[in-house]
Structure 1
Amino acid sequence: MDHQVRNITKSCYHQLRNIGGIRPLISESASKTLVCSLVTSRLDYGNALIHGECTSSLSRLQRVQNTAARIITRTRKYDHITPVLVKLHWLPIEQRIQYKLILQAFKALHGTSPFYMQELVQVYKPNRSLRSENSMHLVQSRARTRSYGDRRLDVVSSTLWETFPKILD
């Protein structure tokens, strides 16, 4: 995955250089649209596989996101980036990946995702009547391999779904 992350950052920095060259000529909203369509779409690609990646790879992707935020808002290099990300309503990369995976599980549960994804994410139905039968627990899928098998969409989404706080009726 290190090679994949390196290619993602390379293509994102290429797009950011192009956007940075025309940034004085366009508005902030136009630059945000360009960055969202050309850069963040690449950062979001393959979230399930990037989810379990080491922190050095995630920090490379975070630097790309920070650079994109600086180009949009014209923030200097050594200014704090957290207020800029908050202003843009952007999550840091690790939380963004988790959000996208939980969103995919939510869409699969509510029938708004493709059918093949709905088959992957299944609600746990106990054999007998339990108090927890209406709590929307997901079936915990098991992977045969530890390296990439644990990054499958059904495994990751069910794990993240269970850690997500539930709203009680």
Structure 2
Amino acid sequence: MLNLADFSATPGSAAKNLGVIIDSDLAFDKHISNVTRTAFLHLRNIAKLRNALSLHDAEKLVHAFITSRLDYCNALLSGCSCSNLNKLQLVQNAAARVLTKTRTFTKTRTFTKTRKLTKTRKCTKTRTFTKTRTFTKTRTFTKTRTFTKTRKCTKTRTFTKTRTFTKTRTFTKTRKCTKTRTFTKTRTFTKTRNFTKTRTFTKTRTFTKTRTFTKTRTFTKTRKFDHISPVLSALYWLPVKFRIDYKILLLTDKALYGLAPEYLRDLISCYEPPRLLRSQGAGLLAVPKIQRSSAGGRAFSYKAPQLWNNLPEYVRDSDTVSIFKSRLKTYLFSLAFGN
């Protein structure tokens, strides 16, 4: 018993911090028992509603109430005893059985995308030309010439020579000339030219793009003692042990690229060989020496470099976090189920 400012404090065997129950020997027995008890409570409630839910909606409920609890702070469970990890694995197995309740369930989603593009261009060009030229030339000439000439001459001559002679001569000359000339010239020209040009173009281009995607997920109802691995593989769920390794490796990748807290970045360092070796530029991490594998082997500074160095090179050399997560899950999935 401890006395702190006149208050007596009794040391306990476990303490709760951020939802994680930590015991004195870091076995996490009480924490795992609490997680399994709460998970089974929610799983029973989901099982009552399973007949009224579709697979998609039931899977959302399982991830919200079951998977989230299995993944919360699961990096602390690295190196725990197999009995404790088996308890968590039983929760995941039960969730898979509740989710795949039917005898034979085949989910087939067929997406058929058909794009039919028909382009029709009908061009009709009609050009009609009518050229009419009418020329009428009329020339009328009328020439009239009227001449009237009158000459009246009276000549009187008187001679007196004992004889008286009187000669009177009267001349009247009248000339009337009328000349009329009429010319009428009429020339009519009519030129008519009709041109009709018709050009009809019909261009039809038909494109048909059909893309069919078929996703089929078949689940077979598993009884209590049936093997659950095929169902987990069909659901693409990693077992609990590999989910723990996934979380540790993801934190390691973020720490290397400066996306993790500083206290995690200080726990890992790059491997530098004492002499020039081929592993110098392989992106490996230095694994510290430990005295006890039961205690020191569970530390992040030891477990993270050990798991990181066992990864294939193509997984370690991922450019982004999203690519690393995809490749890492595929690699762990192949380790868990061998496919």
Both structures adopt the same fold (TM-score exceeding 0.5): yes
Change (3 A) 1:58 1:83: same
Match of 1:102 in 2: 249
2:239 is matched with 92
Alignment CA distance shift 1:80-1:114 (3 Å): same
Query: Match of 2:63?
Result: 36
Q: Check whether the contact 2:222–2:228 (CA below 8 A) recurs between aligned residues.
A: no
Q: List per-residue Cα deviations over 1:80-130 (Å, max 9, x = no partner).
A: 311110111011211222222122212222233333323323222346654
Query: 1:4-153 residue pairs with structure 2 within 5 A?
Result: 4-74=31-101, 75-78=221-224, 79-126=226-273, 129-142=276-289, 146-153=293-300
SS at match of 1:59: helix
**Unaligned 5+ residue runs, structure 2?**
1-27, 102-220, 318-339
| AA matched with 1:141 | P
Count of aligned pairs between the two proteins: 169
Q: Which amino acid aligns with 2:61?
A: L
User: How much has 1:52 moved relative to structure 2?
Assistant: 0.9
Between the aligned partners of 1:154 and 1:126, the Cα distance in structure 2 is 18
Larger gyration radius, structure 1 or structure 2: 2
Task: Determine what percentage of the aligned residue pairs are the same residue.
Answer: 40
Q: Distance in 1 between matches of 2:245 and 2:42?
A: 25
State the superposition RMSD in angstroms: 2.4
Q: Which has the higher helix share?
A: 1
Greater percentage in strand: 2
Of the two structures, which has the highest relative contact order with CA contacts closer than 8 Å and spacing of 6 or more? 1
In the TM superposition, residue 53 of structure 1 has moved relative to its aligned partner by 1.4
Task: Give 2:301's aligned residue.
Answer: 154
Indicate the residue corresponding to 2:144 in structure 1. Answer: none
Residue 41 of structure 1: how far off its partner (Å) = 1.7
What SS class does the counterpart of residue 120 from structure 1 fall into?
coil
Q: In 2, Cα distance between the equivalents of 1:30 and 1:121?
A: 41
